[in-house]
Structures are given as C-alpha cells and as structure tokens.
Amino acid sequence: MKKFLSLFLCLTCVLTLVACGKKVAPITLPQTDEITSIDITFGENTVSYSDKTWISEIIADISSSEPTKKESVQDYPQVESYIKIDFQFETGTSTIFAYEDSGKYYIEQPYQGIYKIDSQLFERFIRN
C-alpha cells in the first residue's frame, strides 16, 4: 500500500508541474492591410516588397510557425547570421528575424518568442 501511495504522490507532483508550465503563445503579426511594405535584409542586401498578394502570402506562411519554449530576451537573435524582416506601416516599423540554428529554422520576435518555421519559408527570405 505504501508503494502505491508513493507512486500516486510522485505522479501527482509530475502532472502538477507539467500542467503549471508556461504556455507558449502563437506569433503576433500585423494585419496584412496595415502593412505598406516588407523590407528583407540579408547581409548587405535589402529588398522591399509592396505587392499586397506577396505580403498576404508571407503573413500566412509566418502565421503557421510553431511556438517553441525558447525565449527571446534581446533585440537581436544570438546567432552569427540572420535575416531581418521589417514590416513597414504608415506610422512605424515592426521587426522580426529569421535564422538557422543546428539545422532548424526559426523566426524570432524580439521579447515575444521564438517560433519554428520550415526550410522553404527560410529559403524564400534568402531568395529575396
């Protein structure tokens, strides 16, 4: 009986810790109609896109990114090479970053979160 009670208590503790874990929110993106253009910078090259169809496709692709448990705690990703993606609005700019790390691809929204993307979206940013 003591073994059963001990096992039950251990299982209850583990389930409590898992249930109380931090929930990861999906990426927060602007509405397509609010964006006047998207500027993509990779290295020294910057390309600006203002085509609403292209912008809509990119927003849809980024929206399908999967949240990770990694936290974004700085203004820029902590990797050697990244792609800077600036959403331009009438009144300002919002920036996210795309990068590869250990064979996986990510979008980082500073101070909001890090999200996993597929290699095809990453390649699309490079081919800008």
pLDDT tens digit sequence for 76-106: 999 999 999 999 999 999 999 999 999 999 9
pLDDT at position 3: 65
Average pLDDT, the chain: 86
Angle between helices 52-63 and 119-126 (to 10 degrees): 150
Q: Can you list the domains of the chain with their CATH numbers?
A: 37-127 (2.60.40.4250)
The Cα–Cα gap between 97 and 77 comes to 7
Mean pLDDT in residue range 28-45: 92
**Mean pLDDT (whole number) for 28-55:** 93
| pLDDT the model gives residue 100 | 95
Residue 18 above 60 pLDDT?
no
Task: Name the DSSP letter for residue 82.
Answer: -
Please tell me the predicted confidence (pLDDT) of residue 109.
Answer: 95
- Summarised one tens digit per residue, pLDDT across range 55-81 is 999 999 999 999 999 999 999 999 999
